[in-house]
Structure 1
Amino acid sequence: MQRKAKYRLMVTRREMLYVHDEFDHTLMLVEMEGEPIEYQPGVAGKFVSRRSVTFHDRVRGTGKMMGYAITTFEEGAIYSRFEGQRDGNTKLTKGTWTVYKGLGKLQGITGSGTFTVVPGERDREYILDIEGEYELPGA
């Protein structure tokens, strides 16, 4: 089943350390909460919450990132891993995600796809566009 969604993400916590091996090399751990902008409810019902924790390794704003997200619905949840690359010049992050666990009505779900993240209009706000394929046994 093909799905698309768009979320508004807000940074709720960010810890940053400088590596000091070259100018502006940082490691960051970022926690974000999200809410849907465009989303269609599925078999697990309405959206409840989305939380992600991401590790960034950047030099002058460009670099790798990887993390985990938990998206909770009225009757289930999806746990996913993601990894990507941020371009410091365009501030665009592109990457891939994979579901590794489902709960409730989403137990046994598999899926993967792509995402993009761009800065939002407010400080600490980002817009996540996600698309991919899901498969749910018995659906």
Structure 2
Amino acid sequence: MRDTKMISENDESIILKSVFNGKLDDIDIKIYQALRENGRMSDTEIAKRIGVSITTVRRRRLRLQEEGYLQIIGLLLLRAANVAYADVLVKLNQQAKIEEEINEFINDAINNPRVYEVTQYIGGNYDILIS
């Protein structure tokens, strides 16, 4: 049986401060933790939650994004708009000998206007997910 332990937000804060060598303080880390919990949380909600002004949250969140510490990613759910779509799992033939052909296939998928996402996997049952 695998022993898994949850770490507290305070312990996580200590670890993150160490990893980022003091470049993030408690407020930065609390902003990150709030957004990790709910990526749609507004600056106003974060400010209330961590006890600082909205301006402080907005300024710090923007700085974290501009400096590359924080990336906010959106996901478009086509199902919500009743749009027909398909996820295609691709398993590459192990006999595929030319990496250029594989890269060309991936580039063609990426450049197809009907494809909105191409994800490569290493290992597992499939190699590529095309949506």
TM-score (norm. length: structure 1) = 0.24
Q: More helix by proportion, 1 or 2?
A: 2
Q: More strand by proportion, 1 or 2?
A: 1
State which structure, 1 or 2, has the greater radius of gyration over its C-alpha atoms: 2
**Structure showing greater relative contact order (alpha-carbon pairs closer than 8 Å, 6 or more residues apart):** 1
